[in-house]
Structures are given as structure tokens and as C-alpha cells.
Structure 1
């Protein structure tokens, strides 16, 4: 996702409602999110579907890494050699 351009990517809700199609086009062309404000405060962020899916994949990967680190800390890991042997055994079977 590209960096936010404060002069272009922060829009009041009323402007977003009036020009939703053009803002959606902008999001798809620039790959930047748009922050929607209401009474001067950010209330929502609109991102393209591809960007959202990419963010979700990154979150899932980070969660898996965190889970693996917790398991390793608890002594539930295995050595690289043992893992490799286990995988090769399952492939040959």
C-alpha cells in the first residue's frame, strides 16, 4: 500500500458521499487508502480489495510467526534435521 497523501487522501464524509465513484477510482489507481472524516475526526478508512487481502495475509503470517515463537519458547519445537527427516519420510511413503 502506498503512503497516504494528506492533501488528497483525507476527505470529509459529505465529499465522499457526493463523489464516491471518483474516490473509488482514485483508490484503485493510486493504491492508497482514503481516510473519511466526520466533524474533523477520522471515522473510517477505505482501501481497495487487493490491498485489504494483502493486509489480511500479512496479519495471518504475523500471527503464525507469533504462535511459532510461543511454541518454541515452550520447548515444543524440533530441530531442522528432525523436521527435514520427517518431511522426507512422509514424501517417500
Structure 2
């Protein structure tokens, strides 16, 4: 399944597969996002799968939010790969 990103204000909903092939779509949607908003909510409820490139893209977005003192919330019981990544980083 392709990647689809919809948004309303600062709430973004990601649907499909986030992988190396469609990483540009994700990066384009969130390029300079923290110049426009103070808080960002991303729902991954409808993400079917995510490869390491997708996980890294969300990780980089998270790092950018911290660096710019912005709020980023990732919600939904979507892809387990992302939760495992952050769980591993938090334990280290």
C-alpha cells in the first residue's frame, strides 16, 4: 500500500506503508514543519508497516522537535517497529 498523509491544522494522519521507496513523501510533508507549528500530533494508527528508513525519519523528526523546543506526539497503535525503536533508545 502507498503512503498517504492527510492533515488538519497540526494533526497529521499517516496511512499505508512508510518505507525507503516513499520516504520523500514523508519528508516533504514535514519539511520545516516546526517553523509553522509549536505542537505536532502524528497518528500512526493506520500505518501497516515501516522499515528502518521510516523509523529513522520519525526519529529525526523527534530529534528536531527536541532541538527546537517543540512538542511532538505520536499516537495510535500502528506499527510496532516504531515503539520497539523508542523503547530500546529509552532503555539505553
TM-score strictly above 0.5: no
TM-score (norm 2): 0.28
Higher Cα Rg: structure 1 or 2? Answer: 1
Q: Which of the two has greater strand per residue?
A: 2
What TM-score results when the alignment is normalised by the length of structure 1? 0.28
Q: Say which structure, 1 or 2, has more relative contact order (CA 8 Å, 6+ apart).
A: 2
